[in-house]
Amino acid sequence: MTVHRYQRYYVKNLYQDFDLKQKLKKQIYLMSLFFLAMAFLGYIASYFIITIFVPKYIDSIPYLLPLFLSAFFECVYLLFVNYLFYYSKTKTLMYITFTISIIHLALSFSLTRYSALYAGYIVALTSFLTCVFVVYYSNRIFPLFNFIQNKNKSQDICH
């Protein structure tokens, strides 16, 4: 318990340092760009590998885009969710993920009967929504980005 208190004190004091905030922002931007590049390159590579080496799976190509988009959004989600776990702010995270899971379930039941491709786009959509809400909530708890308004300053742990 004492180690955990020390870690919070240490991170809280480090966070007040402008350089740390800038380093974290730069790391998030660079990692997000890396994830986007990997998703794009993975999509392009998969497209060419399927068309050249395994043409019998050519019908799977339309499924690649939503799956790689979903993977990108999940990676960005993982960048921000760690702040919530560190500060033990998981109750709202539970509400976010449970609500979006219900949306995912409802869309899957209603749309996948028309096309299996909809399942991929439903995953991409719900991954996007989860990512957006978690980034917003994480920024309220651990503010890094000014373009996301932090109206509830009482939740700000670090200031």
Query: pLDDT-derived band of residue 18, with 50, 70 and 90 as boundaries?
Result: low
Q: pLDDT per residue over 94-109, tens digit each?
A: 999 999 999 999 999 9
3-state secondary structure of 28: helix
CA distances from 78 to 8, 52, 140 (A): 20, 34, 16
Q: pLDDT per residue over 123-139, tens digit each?
A: 999 999 999 999 999 99
What is the pLDDT averaged over residues 41-69?
96
Rounded-to-integer distance, Cα 33 and Cα 39, Å? 10
156 φ/ψ angles, rounded to the nearest 5 degrees: -70, 110
Measured CA angle at 128 (ends 126, 133), to 5 deg: 95
Q: Say which residues have a Cβ less than 8 Å from residue 93's Cβ, sequence separation at least 6.
A: 81, 84, 134, 137
Rounded-to-integer distance, Cα 96 and Cα 11, Å? 26
* Amino acid 145: pLDDT: 81
pTM of the model: 0.80
| From 33-37, 53-57, 62-66, 136-140, the region with the lowest mean pLDDT | 136-140
Q: pLDDT per residue over 66-102, tens digit each?
A: 999 999 999 999 999 988 888 888 999 999 999 999 9
Residue 120 pLDDT greater than 60, yes or no: yes
Q: Choose between 150 and 72: higher pLDDT.
A: 72
Q: Which amino acid is at 101?
A: S
